Amino acid sequence: MVFAVVVLFVAFLPGVAAAAPVTGNATWFDALGSPYGGCGLPQSVLDSQDFVALNVYNTPRDYNFYPRPLPAGDPKTGMWDNGHNCGRWVRVSISDYCNGTNDGAPNQAFCRNGSYVADRYNGATLNMIVADSCGDSNAWCRDDPFHLDLSHASLNRFQLNGTPVGDMDPAHWNNRHVSWEFIPAPNYTGDINIGFLQSAQVWWGAVSISHLANGTHGVDYFAGGAWHAAQMNGDMGESYILSPTVQAGTQFQIRVYDVANTLINNGRVYTFSLPSSCGSSCGVPYTRVTYTTS
């Protein structure tokens, strides 16, 4: 079987988009899961309600599930990159419409019994944030490394000549091609957001760190007089497990790395505490905290 997207399998590197925009098939999903999306943030606190999911796996015609996170350097790693592309922004441009069957069935070609054709929606664009992962056992999430799963509510917000397209979905959608690339956060201002996750406590300092100019790639925490690399919370790329500055304490200090593995804001240190509202354990999905910096 020859796949319509075979060209996309060439020179793919996990977690890295080409210097120029790449092209893939696009699907949609309604909302992030509860209480979190794949990046470890509730939908309500995302920087944008225009969001996407990236593929966990790059396993053409292999629809098996593999333990997450994948081992470092595993060739099965998709654009999700074990969560390391969480919180990054992408500029998505609408491309050709499929006039055939485009259902993502395993071991079937995309747009079979038809072809991709340009129409009046080509070139419409929207900036979107990476908030979730696509690890399903279908052709979209396995056979097309540059597949994007888009927030359903965003489809008709794509803009062409400064105006929302309005009616692309559903009659003119059919899981069409899109081109996309990573971009710095548009119109970025302010500083990071920090929030404790449900069940966080002094012995399990689970936080989500968001609102970076160029994604979150790692976190250090200060404890016992030294800096330590924090462990990611599974492959939820904006969530990390911290220890307090002193054993059984409630104060935490962190510094954060962006996608280029560079400390943000020249190594700025963020100091914050487990809120008293959490008691012995935070009871709600996300408790945002204030912090001081040095």
Answer whether residue 1 shows pLDDT above 60.
Answer: no
For 206: left if phi > 0, alpha if psi spans -120 to 50, otherwise beta; the answer is beta
Query: Which residues fall within 8 angstroms of residue 249, CB to CB, at 6 or more apart?
Result: 202
Q: Average pLDDT of 237-242?
A: 98
Q: Assess whether 154 and 23 both reside in one domain.
A: yes
Residue where one domain finishes, among candidates 150, 165, 183: 183
Q: Average pLDDT of 43-50?
A: 98
Q: Assess whether 65 and 203 both reside in one domain.
A: no
How far apart are the C-alpha atoms of 195 and 191, rounded to whole Å?
Answer: 13
Q: Assess whether 13 and 137 both reside in one domain.
A: yes
Residue where one domain finishes, among candidates 125, 152, 183: 183
Answer whether residue 10 shows pLDDT above 50.
Answer: no
For 175: left if phi > 0, alpha if psi spans -120 to 50, otherwise beta; the answer is left
Q: Average pLDDT of 25-45?
A: 97
Each residue's pLDDT tens digit, 274-285 = 999 999 999 999
Task: Give the model's confidence band at 12: pLDDT under 50 very low, under 70 low, under 90 confident, else very high.
Answer: very low
Residue where one domain finishes, among candidates 155, 183, 211: 183
Query: Which residues fall within 8 angstroms of residue 171, CB to CB, at 6 or more apart?
Result: none
The number of distinct structural domains making up the chain is 2
The domain of 248 spans 193-293
Residue 20 is predicted with a pLDDT of 78
Is there a domain that residue 68 lies in? yes
Q: Assess whether 35 and 174 both reside in one domain.
A: yes
CATH number of the domain enclosing 271: 2.60.40.760
Each residue's pLDDT tens digit, 130-183 = 999 999 999 999 999 999 999 999 999 999 999 999 999 999 999 999 999 999
Q: Assess whether 71 and 131 both reside in one domain.
A: yes
Is there a domain that residue 1 lies in? no
Is there a domain that residue 61 lies in? yes
- Looking at the whole model, is its pTM more than 0.85? yes
Q: Assess whether 36 and 173 both reside in one domain.
A: yes
Residue 17 is predicted with a pLDDT of 54
Each residue's pLDDT tens digit, 95-115 = 999 999 999 999 999 999 999
